[in-house]
A = this chain, B = another copy of it.
Amino acid sequence: MTFEILPIEGLPLFQKDDDLAGMLLAHLHTSQFELADGDIVAIAQKVISKVEGRLVDLDTVEPSAKAETLAAEVDKDPRIVELILQESTDIVRQKEGVLIVRHRLGHVGANAGIDQSNIHHSKDGSALLLPVDPDKSAADIQQRIASATGKRIGVLITDSANRPWRLGTVGIAIGASHMTVLDDRRGGFDLHGRELKITIINRADSIAAMATLAMGETDEKIPIVIVRGAQAGYTDQKTADMIRPLEDDLFR
């Protein structure tokens, strides 16, 4: 089966309180782009965060004593460190310039996904936080698009992430609705009839990786792409389901 990743070009820059689903539907209509059953609408976290008002003016942030201490240790802006602490449940590692934390959503990564690129900056600077509940954001958008178009589609919210041991960012899934997130093949068989014991395929992250590459990450202005042919699957799994349980985490 052929997969296609179709970038949606010419979208406006999204801003706080914009109706993202409505604007996307209008744009698809104008550009005569027809969604198909099984399509996955992949949306960059950054635009979800923007429309949901997650842009923070740094002059409104009052660092705690803990944030001040930690900021001095790792040589970062104490206001950014304060936001990182508010957004995370656990500091996994710290080093000059880097805080690896467990985000309250469960994802482990650098600086709690807080981003300062491709956002409008106030005089004192700004920072963009992850959506409050990206699985819910995905579900809301999925419902709007599905009911407007009558198509069975999935929605995926992507972010770009650094990883241990490997250089360079890849896209990951931080929100999903009506698609297969984890494809559990345990109990199936391989080519030689040997039972598969451990094969769970992370479809959401795999699709997010390629979608994020198609979006570009700098100035391409393509925050939404359609992934066609990967078959959404239409399950009620969430990206929360892919977080490895803490007791199985070998890296605590």
A250 touches B192 (CB 8 A): no
A165 touches B107 (CB 8 A): yes
Tell me which residues across on chain B come within 8 A of A121, comparing CB atoms. 192, 194
Q: How large is the interface on A (under 10, 10 to 19, 20 to 34, 35 or more residues)?
A: 35 or more
Whole-angstrom distance between the alpha carbons of A30 and B2 in the complex? 19
A185 touches B217 (CB 8 A): yes
0/1 per residue, A1-28, Cβ < 8 Å to B? 1111111000001000000000000000
Closest chain-B Cβ to A47's Cβ sits at a distance in Å of 12
Whole-angstrom distance between the alpha carbons of A171 and B169 in the complex? 14
Of A6, A120, A192, the most chain B CB neighbours within 10 A belong to: A192
For chain A, residues 159 to 186, give those with C-beta under 8 angstroms from any C-beta of chain B.
160, 163-172, 181-183, 185
Tell me which residues across on chain B come within 8 A of A56, comparing CB atoms. none
For chain A, residues 183 to 211, give those with C-beta under 8 angstroms from any C-beta of chain B.
183, 185, 188-192, 194, 196, 199-203, 205-207, 209-210
A118 touches B201 (CB 8 A): no
Q: A2-B5, A250-B95 are in contact. Are A213 and B218 (CB under 8 A)?
A: no
Stretch at the interface among A58-66, A77-85, A144-152, A241-249: A241-249
Tell me which residues across on chain B come within 8 A of A108, comparing CB atoms. 164-165
List the interface of chain A (C-beta within 8 A of B).
Answer: 1-7, 13, 93, 95, 98, 100, 102, 106-108, 116-121, 160, 163-172, 181-183, 185, 188-192, 194, 196, 199-203, 205-207, 209-210, 212-214, 217-219, 221, 230, 241-244, 249-251
A-B interface, 8 closest residue pairs, ranked by CB to CB distance from nearest: A168-B202, A210-B210, A209-B209, A3-B5, A206-B213, A93-B250, A108-B165, A206-B209
